[in-house]
Structure formats: structure tokens, C-alpha cells
Amino acid sequence: MKSQRNISEFILLGLSYDQNIQIFCFVLFLFCYVALLAGNLLILVSIRCSPLFHQPMYYFLSHLSTMDICYTSTVTPKLIADLLVERKTISYSNCMLQIFTMHFFGGTEIFILTAMAFDRYAAICKPLHYVIIMNRTRCHLLVLAAWAGAAVHAFPLFSTAISLPFCGPNEIDHFFCDIFPLLKVACTDTHITGVLVVAFSGMLSLVTFIVLFVSYGIILFTLRNLSAEGRRKALSTCCSHITVVILFFGPVIFIYLRPPTTFPEDKIFALFYTIISPMFNPLIYTLRNSEMKKAMRKFWSPSLFSKEVHS
């Protein structure tokens, strides 16, 4: 623990040394972050202020939008600010906090996506028992389980990071603090620690992805028993969920399910699960969802919606 006090801050090497690229990235990521906040807040407010909030799928979607905002806000604001300065630093305490919040909110998002898959399975494969299976109490319990599971996932990683000794150098080849880049600058043998991180974090992502893949496979197989209209509606919803799962889990599995090392490509993949995927979630869930679009029009343009209904 004494060696940790030799370093009070870390230097983040960021995305690029080129000033022109940094300015371009600043404009791009500022736009992405504003679009992400606006899109997820739009979904959140539209669901909360409409009857859709009482439907399990939209109840989980509102929580997913909240997690998207919290998750990306642990990284993106600092990334945007760092693109305007030459020396990018983060204090030791903020670095540890960033590791915990990223894995906590990211873990919560993973488990909420799993709850959404269970909801779609119950709705399509057990339609007669859906109301009983997905009652409001069970929905609350699933969200609480997502938070609890995320805490169980995040605390060991946080404990691992905070127990690492650092005595120099203090340069992290990334645009935020994460466990693998920290292992590279720790003043100790981190091989076993790295394997434990892969076994814990990487396997969580892989197992969850397999569970989601199998669940949606069963759902798609069941669709053959539905009417054409039922298939169209169910496919529209499930395709949105599958797209979100692939965009999020693909980069996460690439980063964490491999030997504990870092590559230059890690920064690009990290951009996908920290900024790109949360930004596209509102578009994916609204453009293919007629109920969501109707709720948004009703809330934000009530006069226009009433004219459409009467016409």
C-alpha cells in the first residue's frame, strides 16, 4: 500500500497524438454524447409519462436507458475534455472510481438485457401465462437482481485494482482507466491477477451472451407458430434486442475474453461499448417500434397526435 502513495495521478495517452485528429474526435464525440443523452432521455421521459411504463418490456427499456446514460457518463465527458488539453491526467482516486462505476453500470446493463430477453421469451413462448410470469413484483425483483449482480461483478475488480502497487511509470495507454491497462503499469507480477480478471469478467460476458443467444434462438423458433402479423411484430422487437446485444457484447468479449494483455485496437473496440452502442440504442428501439413512436408523438406533440387519431 505504501508504493501506491508514490503515484497520485496517472497520465492517459488518449486516442492520438495528432492535434487535428484530436479536434475531429472532440467534435465527433461531443455530437455522439449529446445525441446519446437526448435520445435516451427522450425514451426515458416518453415511457415514464405514458401507459407503456406499466408494460414489462418498456419498464426494462427505461432502466436500460438510465444505465446507458450513467455508463457512458463515467468515461465520455472526461474523454471529450481531454481532447482539448495536451497533458491528460486522472487522479488515483478518480481512476479507481472510474473502474468501479464502469463495471458496475456495465454489469447492470448486461443483466437488464438478460431480463429483457426473459421478458420476450415469456411473452412469445408462454403468452397465456405472461401476465402472471411478468408481474410488477417480479419486474422489480429482476431489476434489483441486476443491480446486485453488477455489484458482485464490480467489487472484486475494484478490490483487485485498488490493491495493485504503483511506483512508476504512471502512463496508461488508454483514454480511460481500465483493469488491463492498469495491470501493465503495476509494480508486481500480475499474471495470476490477469487470469482471474479474464475468468471473472470475460466469462461473465461470454456466458451471458450464450444465454441470450440461446434464448433468442428459442424465441425465433417459436415464431413459426404465430400468425403473420404476430411474427412481424415479434420479429421487430426481437431484432432490435439482438442488434443491441451484438453491438454491446461483441467488443466486450473481444476485450475481456483473452490473455491479459492490451493491443492498440482496444481503444477502438472500447469506443463501441462506451459510446457508439449506447448512442445507437435509442435509434434501434424507436425506429422499429410503432408503440414507442406513438408514445413519443403523444407526449411531445399531443395536438398533432389527436389530429392523427381523429383522422
Tell whether 101 is covered by a domain.
Answer: yes
* Whole-number pLDDT of residue 29: 94
* Whole-number pLDDT of residue 2: 43
* Whole-number pLDDT of residue 139: 93
pLDDT tens, 110-157?
999 899 889 988 888 888 889 899 999 999 999 999 999 999 999 988
For residue 286, the domain's CATH number is 1.20.1070.10
Q: Is the Cβ–Cβ distance between 219 and 158 less than 8 Å?
A: no
Q: Is the Cβ–Cβ distance between 119 and 134 less than 8 Å?
A: yes
pLDDT-based confidence at 310, cuts 50/70/90? very low
Residue 91 phi, psi (nearest 5): -65, 160
pLDDT-based confidence at 309, cuts 50/70/90? very low
pLDDT tens, 38-71?
989 988 888 888 888 888 988 999 999 999 999 9
**Residue 306 pLDDT > 70, yes or no?**
no
Number of domains in the chain: 1
For residue 287, what are the contacts with CB-CB under 8 A and spacing of at least 6?
A: 293
* Whole-number pLDDT of residue 301: 66
Query: Whole-prediction pTM value?
Result: 0.86
Tell whether 142 is covered by a domain.
Answer: yes
Tell whether 308 is covered by a domain.
Answer: no
In this predicted model, which residue has the larger pLDDT, 168 or 177?
Answer: 177
Distance (Å, whole) CA 231 – CA 234? 5
Tell whether 22 is covered by a domain.
Answer: yes
Tell whether 59 is covered by a domain.
Answer: yes
Tell whether 307 is covered by a domain.
Answer: no
**Stretch 102-115: mean pLDDT:** 92
Tell whether 133 is covered by a domain.
Answer: yes
Element (H, E) at 90: strand 89-91
Q: Comparing C-alpha atoms, which of 55, 204, 173 is closest to residue 123?
A: 55
Tell whether 281 is covered by a domain.
Answer: yes
pLDDT-based confidence at 288, cuts 50/70/90? low
* Whole-number pLDDT of residue 126: 86
Highest mean pLDDT among 17-26, 27-36, 188-197, 214-223: 27-36
pLDDT tens, 198-208?
877 888 888 88
What average pLDDT is seen over the chain?
Answer: 84
CB atoms within 10 A of CB 86: 9
Q: Give burial (CB, 10 Å; 0-12/13-18/19+) of 129.
A: exposed
Q: Residue 175 carries which DSSP code?
A: S
Cell triple for 262: 492490451
* Whole-number pLDDT of residue 302: 60
pLDDT-based confidence at 72, cuts 50/70/90? very high
Q: What angle do CA 198, 157, 189 make, to 5 degrees?
A: 65
Q: Is the Cβ–Cβ distance between 36 and 275 less than 8 Å?
A: yes
Name the residue range of residue 281's domain.
Answer: 10-302
**Residue 308 pLDDT > 60, yes or no?**
no
* Share above pLDDT 70 across residues of the chain, in percent, rounded to a whole number: 92
